[in-house]
Amino acid sequence: MHNSREILLSDLKPFEMELQLLTSKNREIAEEHLVLESVSEELGSNKLTVAELVEENKASVQSLQDNSEGASKHR
């Protein structure tokens, strides 16, 4: 009986090693996922900032055009 237990444990050894490997890979994937989530949030924030700057730029261009047209009318 003792011998059959050793055989079973021996048979399970490759599965234990595979489980450890998969657990390690899973941990790496989880860490990468967190990094990607962070990058995604930062990109979303940057997208909002760019949209705000584009609107500011449009308003500035319009203001310059209005000032230029006003100045040329007063000549």
Exposure of 65 in the CB half-sphere (CA atoms within 13 A): 6
Q: Is the pTM of this model over 0.75?
A: no
Average pLDDT for 37-46: 98
State the pLDDT confidence band at 75, using cuts at 50, 70 and 90. low
Q: pLDDT per residue over 19-39, tens digit each?
A: 999 999 999 999 999 999 999
